[in-house]
Amino acid sequence: MIEQKQFDVVFIGAGPGGYVAAIRAAQLGLKVAVIEKDKVGGTCLHRGCIPTKALLRSAEIYRNAKEGSEFGINIDNITLNFTQVQNRKQQVVDQLKKGIEFLFKKNKVTLIEGYGRIENSGSDSNKVVRVETADGEKVVSTKKVIIATGSKPKTLPGLEIDGKYIITSDEALEMEELPKSMIIVGGGVIGMEWASLLNDFGVEVTVVEFLPRILPLEDSDVSKDITRTMKKRKVKIHTGTMVLPETIKIVDGRVELEAKKGEKMLQLSAEKVLVSVGRVAMIDNIGLENTKVEVEKGVIKVNEFFQTTDSNIYAIGDVIGGLQLAHVASHEGIVAVEHIAGKNPKPFNYLTVSKCTFTHPEVASVGLTEDEAKEKGYEVKVGKFQFRGIGKALVHGEVDGFIKLVVDQKTNTLLGAHMVGPHVTDMISEAGLAKVLEATAMDIAHTIHPHPTLAEAIMEAALDVDNEAIHA
């Protein structure tokens, strides 16, 4: 059966890009449909942000229970019930999925469950999307299409994902039991979050990173510090090391492989290999050949309002590359629909986007690293404060890490903030606000931070910019 409906905006994909922007579009009075082939919430809710953080939370509780004696809490016979860990993760995911479905109903967003593909409508102003649903095909007409199809895990040439021994984060999230050992190929955000949580669960973890440092997009001081703490926790880290896919063998239920570190060959072996070497945009088979949309380096090309080269088609989120983060996808979507609704939105300033890595200790940053600021020609001043000087960090028993602020010497404005330590993912938004408001280090230093809190470290780092930190 072919059913034809007319909308103002049709989204392909209900991840944090598509679903958030659909709600915003409906709030703006537009008639909105969202096409989703799988489940509302996308990668973020089902294979990304939320399930990994649910596992990380269980891992944290397990670690805390084991370390309880330091706090005077002796717990005998601590055991891990990984089935319950997975069940709880799923309950959180299911509850949030229901929440999105409720919000769609509340905002009168039409959800069409099926696979969407843009058709050749023969007109620039009227777009047509064909949807394969379980009950047959539907055709929707719309003034605007927003492509929010997201991304999928990438692998290395020759490194075949078999779903059993060699897996991506997608399969790792579905593991029914934990392996005793895991090699993680790729020391970026996803790889390091898995390294941290598996280590907390007692898995022997080896990280192999091709670049000279893990978390290579973070400030180099942050990479150094997180390497140190991870190594202290017995995570093995090989940087500047290339896995040789042709050497991979399965021997007696274990994966064996060779990796090249300079002139040295490393022989590595583990029960499983987790490949986390980045993600590729989902641009295949969505009908781009029926449009004027251009693709560059594997991602959809857009302008500052996320309009593609086919002006009635927009693209947001992971499918346009750049910072592949849920909150980025959502905000790109909001800018796109506000542009469609004629609201004149401000273009997105990526330098104000906070990035978080939920390792233990956590990592968070916003703006330029010290090296980037220097490369851009700034003369910089740096303020740094270690968590070990903060009372609340000592109370928590979490003293690893620091706050580093990079400031423009001429204007004293904040260029970047870099944090590694307890709960820094919850603290980075203060620096994000400072970036948006173009605050100076003194604005931050003169903001009275309550005592005893971890955020006092931000105030001390701001004071340290002019060597005025009190507890240094």
Helix (H) or strand (E) holding 189: helix 189-200
Residue with tokens 């897996």: 167
Is 116 marked within a binding site? yes
Query: Is position 451 annotated as part of the catalytic site?
Result: yes
CB of 22 to ligand FAD, least distance (A): 11
CB of 283 to ligand FAD, least distance (A): 9
Is 79 marked within a binding site? no
Nearest to 254 by CA among 277, 273, 275, 235: 273
**Residue 218 and residue 215: Cα distance in Å, rounded?**
6
Which residues would be at the binding site for ligand FAD (CB under 6 A)? 12-18, 35-38, 42-44, 47-49, 52, 115-116, 148-151, 169, 190, 282, 286, 317-319, 324-327, 329, 358
Tokens of 300: 């959809």
Nearest to 455 by CA among 383, 375, 393: 393
Catalytic residue among 331, 396, 451, 471: 451
Chain centroid to CA 140: 32
Is 70 marked within a binding site? no
CB of 196 to ligand FAD, least distance (A): 12
Nearer to ligand FAD, 299 or 454 (CB): 299
User: Please, what is the Cα angle at 402 between 397 and 405, to 5 degrees?
Assistant: 150
Is 188 marked within a binding site? yes
Q: How many CA atoms lie within 13 A of 56 on its CB side?
A: 19
CB of 364 to ligand FAD, least distance (A): 11
Nearer to ligand FAD, 175 or 472 (CB): 175
Nearer to ligand FAD, 97 or 449 (CB): 97
Nearer to ligand FAD, 305 or 471 (CB): 305
CB of 366 to ligand FAD, least distance (A): 13
Nearer to ligand FAD, 117 or 471 (CB): 117
Is 13 marked within a binding site? no
Look at strands 136-147 and 4-12 and give their pairing: parallel
**Residue 117 and residue 13: Cα distance in Å, rounded?**
11
Residue by residue, DSSP assigns 42-57 as HHHHHHSHHHHHHHHH
Is 407 marked within a binding site? no
Give how far Cα 22 sits from Cα of 111, 116, 308, 331, 455, Å. 10, 16, 18, 12, 35
Catalytic residue IDs: 451
Query: Which residues are documented as binding site for NAD(+)?
Result: 186-193, 209, 278
Query: Which residues are documented as binding site for FAD?
Result: 53, 116, 149-151, 318
Query: Which residues are documented as binding site?
Result: 53, 116, 149-151, 186-193, 209, 278, 318
